[in-house]
């Protein structure tokens, strides 16, 4: 159904048993986030906090807590959106050529943003940043953050809503050196549309006008994270998904969403930065304090009875996982269709999304030969690393089904996918490093902010080995606390081994270990048993803490004509290094307070 507001959505969820009201006054310092985390962990309902300490406004979270709830929210419009994407129809083109797009026309009409009058104070009242629910999520956070923002900017060369960008870039509301009510921090990562807009504004020597919308129809939050084709506006998509046109107007030169619960307007001036962070982020670690653009606050608006929408991120899976699942449900194969030969791609949420990408491609270069080596797969991998946010991937594992045996594989069955590749990969040939390159802003495994390395691991051809399901004797005899994580993967405690010691101890035994004993990878970690207890632990620690060029080696490794390879198992150093950001941890005192609150609600 078409929700006119966030509250309309929450009432619909409540009527269908998918919302809980927390009636007690709750503290925005750690307590609200802890309640959210507890309920989300149990796949619980959306949450409406009716009394927020220090603010007159209510707050809501866990709105998109499960894929099922997200699909329920968009149950009326999702089929139309999928139809548009499946037909590869630009909604604006459908309006211009209605006879060619009759089936999609009703949904496409909603793509047109609708300009409304600005009725202050009938619709909005003017408030200050300090009036908002200033929610701090984790103990080491630098202050309160907006975690479900819709950050709106326009192109200085092509002003207007038709060429605007709407993105979800976290906003720091207080703390650090920010002057309360006058300054806030704007954090954005690589490959974001707002960066293009700021660059153009800087070149013209003019401030970038920024509007931050919070709340409104849930479709607007989804639009802010949706990877849309170049040139298609998030506001067009928001209207189609919401089932109603995106309402907007202008006030003092700033775009105002007339559907949002809150709007923060301000300007970013060239060269003006301030330290932003730390912030407990979706990789499960803190992103540390760094200089990011300073936004000078112009005005802050709130609708009457406004509700502050927020989420909490940390070690995955969290609520933002559902965003990724919903995007996949909406787009289907659209992303893979953009890259010739790519059949399937999966950014693994348990590994923090960008650190680990699994892909299935095609191998069609030499059909006249009995090919047993990756060829087209490497072209596809390079294309992946040059495409939008896929380019932020740190590990790309890519394979293709055997043309003769018609093997059935899926990137979404992660253990089976790994096993398929580890049984076939030639470690002397199929590991390809990219050094001294750009990295995801949130990944601290590299040498500095946005700096690090990548690796492509490709496999194609016949099965070469059977993988071990227990720790071979040679490893048991030389290392304490060695455990089998999954077929082919052994974890060893760092206190008894280092990457260098493993290589030295197993020297000249690599081929026997790999192809006869079936050990494909040895992972050095602080707690081998913990890593083996759950594949989620392996995916998280094994890929977020590793900088490929520095932390991957191999038994009996060699370099030949500048190509690295090894005759034995790979060796990953997945320990926490001194330069790494610390992991997010809950506060024990707050957890006890949350126990008392949630006991009344059965959580």
Final residue of a structural domain among 300, 315, 330:
315
Same domain for 157 and 298, yes or no, is: yes
* Domain-embedded: residue 592: no
Same domain for 14 and 133, yes or no, is: yes
Higher pLDDT, 400 or 404: 400
- How many domains, the chain? 3
At residue 80, the pLDDT reads 79
Same domain for 253 and 343, yes or no, is: no
Q: How confident is the model at residue 529 (pLDDT cuts 50, 70, 90)?
A: very high
Average pLDDT over residues 75-91: 73
- Helix, strand, coil shares, percent, the chain, to 5: 30, 25, 45
* Domain-embedded: residue 586: no
At residue 95, the pLDDT reads 54
Same domain for 379 and 437, yes or no, is: yes
At residue 72, the pLDDT reads 95
Least confident of 278-282, 367-371, 414-418, 552-556: 367-371
Least confident of 107-111, 441-445, 451-455: 107-111
Same domain for 261 and 386, yes or no, is: no
Render 252-302 in DSSP notation, one character per residue.
TTEEEESS-SEEEEEEEEEEEEEEE--EE-TTSBEE--EEEEEEEEEEEEE
Same domain for 407 and 269, yes or no, is: no
In this model, does residue 99 exceed pLDDT 50?
Answer: no
At residue 126, the pLDDT reads 95
Peptide bond into 265 cis (omega under 30): no
At residue 321, the pLDDT reads 87
Which CATH number characterizes residue 72's domain?
2.30.110.10
**Residue 390 neighbours by CB distance under 10 Å:** 22
Which CATH number characterizes residue 503's domain?
3.40.1670
Same domain for 306 and 409, yes or no, is: no
Average pLDDT over residues 280-285: 92
Same domain for 50 and 190, yes or no, is: yes
Answer whether 216's CB lies under 8 Å from 5's CB.
yes
For 515, list phi and psi in degrees, rounded to 5: -90, -20
* Domain-embedded: residue 433: yes
Same domain for 27 and 103, yes or no, is: yes
Same domain for 331 and 310, yes or no, is: no
Q: How far apart are CA 595 and CA 552, in angstroms?
A: 42
Query: pLDDT tens for residues 480-527?
Result: 889 999 999 999 999 888 899 999 999 999 999 999 999 999 999 999
User: What are the CA-CA distances from residue 175 to residues 130, 144, 276, 339 (Å)?
Assistant: 12, 7, 9, 43
* CA dihedral over 169, 173, 178, 182, signed as positive or negative: positive
What is residue 565's three-state secondary structure? strand
Helix (H) or strand (E) holding 456: strand 451-459
Which CATH number characterizes residue 397's domain?
3.40.1670.10
* Domain-embedded: residue 602: no
* Domain-embedded: residue 578: no
Same domain for 11 and 56, yes or no, is: yes
Final residue of a structural domain among 263, 292, 315:
315
User: What are the CA-CA distances from residue 61 to residues 134, 203, 232, 320, 596 (Å)?
Assistant: 14, 39, 29, 11, 20
* Domain-embedded: residue 108: yes
**Which range marks the domain in which residue 376 is found?**
321-459
Q: What value does the mean pLDDT of the chain take?
A: 90
At residue 217, the pLDDT reads 96
In this model, does residue 439 exceed pLDDT 90?
Answer: no
114-115 and 165-167: which strand pairing? unpaired
**Residue 504 neighbours by CB distance under 10 Å:** 10
* Domain-embedded: residue 580: no
* Domain-embedded: residue 597: no
Q: How far apart are CA 6 and CA 345, in angstroms?
A: 33
Bridge partners for 22 per DSSP? 49
Higher pLDDT, 385 or 96: 385
In this model, does residue 100 exceed pLDDT 70?
Answer: no
User: What are the CA-CA distances from residue 171 to residues 15, 151, 195, 240, 489 (Å)?
Assistant: 32, 9, 15, 27, 40
Final residue of a structural domain among 429, 459, 489:
459
Least confident of 78-82, 98-102, 165-169, 473-477: 98-102
Q: How confident is the model at residue 96 (pLDDT cuts 50, 70, 90)?
A: low
Same domain for 121 and 179, yes or no, is: yes
Least confident of 167-181, 330-344, 448-462: 330-344
For 226, list phi and psi in degrees, rounded to 5: -75, 125
At residue 598, the pLDDT reads 94
């Amino acid at each position: 159904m078409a929700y006119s507001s966030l509250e309309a959505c929450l009432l619909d969820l409540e009527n269908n048993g998918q919302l809980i009201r927390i009636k007690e006054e709750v503290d925005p310092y750690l307590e609200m986030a802890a309640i959210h985390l507890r309920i989300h962990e149990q796949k619980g309902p959306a949450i409406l906090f009716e009394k927020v300490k220090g603010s007159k406004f209510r707050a809501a979270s866990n709105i998109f807590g499960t894929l099922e709830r997200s699909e329920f929210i968009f149950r009326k419009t999702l089929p139309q959106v999928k139809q548009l994407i499946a037909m590869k129809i630009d909604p604006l083109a459908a309006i211009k050529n209605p006879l060619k797009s009759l089936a999609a026309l009703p949904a496409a009409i909603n793509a047109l943003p609708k300009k409304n009058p600005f009725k202050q104070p009938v619709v909005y009242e003017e408030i200050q940043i300090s009036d908002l629910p200033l929610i701090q999520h984790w103990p080491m956070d630098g202050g309160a953050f907006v975690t479900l923002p819709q950050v709106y900017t326009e192109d200085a060369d092509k002003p207007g809503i038709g060429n605007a960008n709407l993105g979800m870039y976290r906003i720091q509301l207080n703390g650090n050196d920010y002057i309360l009510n006058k300054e806030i921090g704007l954090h954005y990562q690589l490959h974001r549309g707002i960066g293009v807009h700021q660059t153009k504004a800087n070149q013209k020597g003019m401030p970038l006008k920024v509007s931050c919308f919070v709340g409104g129809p849930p479709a607007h939050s989804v639009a802010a994270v949706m990877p849309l084709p170049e040139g298609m506006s998030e506001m067009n998509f928001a209207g189609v998904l919401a089932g109603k046109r995106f309402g907007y107007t202008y006030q003092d030169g700033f775009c105002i969403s007339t559907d949002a619960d809150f709007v923060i307007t301000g300007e970013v001036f060239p060269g003006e930065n301030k330290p932003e962070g730390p912030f407990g982020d979706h990789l499960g670690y803190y992103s540390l304090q760094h200089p990011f653009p300073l936004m000078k606050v112009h005005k802050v608006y709130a609708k009457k009875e406004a509700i502050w929408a927020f989420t909490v991120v940390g070690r995955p899976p969290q609520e933002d996982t559902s965003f990724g699942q919903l995007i996949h449900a909406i787009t289907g194969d659209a992303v893979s269709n953009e890259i010739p030969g790519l059949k399937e791609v999966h950014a693994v949420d348990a590994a923090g999304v960008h650190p680990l990408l699994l892909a299935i491609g095609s191998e069609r270069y030499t059909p006249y030969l009995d090919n047993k080596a990756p060829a087209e797969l490497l072209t596809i991998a390079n294309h992946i690393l040059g495409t939008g946010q896929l380019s932020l991937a740190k590990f790309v594992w890519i394979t293709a089904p055997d043309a003769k045996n018609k093997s059935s594989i899926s990137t979404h069955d992660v253990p089976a996918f790994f096993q398929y590749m580890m049984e076939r990969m030639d470690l002397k040939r199929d590991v390809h490093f990219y050094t001294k390159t750009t990295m995801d802003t949130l990944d601290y495994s590299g040498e500095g902010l946005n700096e690090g390395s990548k690796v492509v691991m490709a496999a194609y051809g016949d099965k070469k080995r059977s993988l071990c399901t227990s720790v071979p004797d040679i490893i048991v005899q030389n290392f304490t606390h060695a455990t089998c994580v999954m077929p082919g993967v052994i974890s060893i405690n760092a206190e008894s081994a280092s990457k260098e010691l493993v290589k030295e101890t197993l020297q000249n035994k690599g081929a026997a270990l790999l192809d006869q004993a079936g050990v494909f990878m040895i992972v050095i970690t602080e707690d081998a048993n913990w890593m083996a207890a759950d594949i989620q632990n392996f995916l998280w620690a094994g890929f977020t803490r590793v900088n490929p060029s520095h932390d991957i080696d191999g038994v009996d490794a060699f370099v030949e004509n500048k190509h690295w390879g090894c005759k034995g198992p790979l060796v990953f150093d997945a320990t926490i290094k001194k330069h790494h950001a610390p992991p997010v941890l809950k506060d024990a005192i707050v957890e006890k307070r949350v126990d008392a609150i949630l006991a009344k609600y059965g959580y």
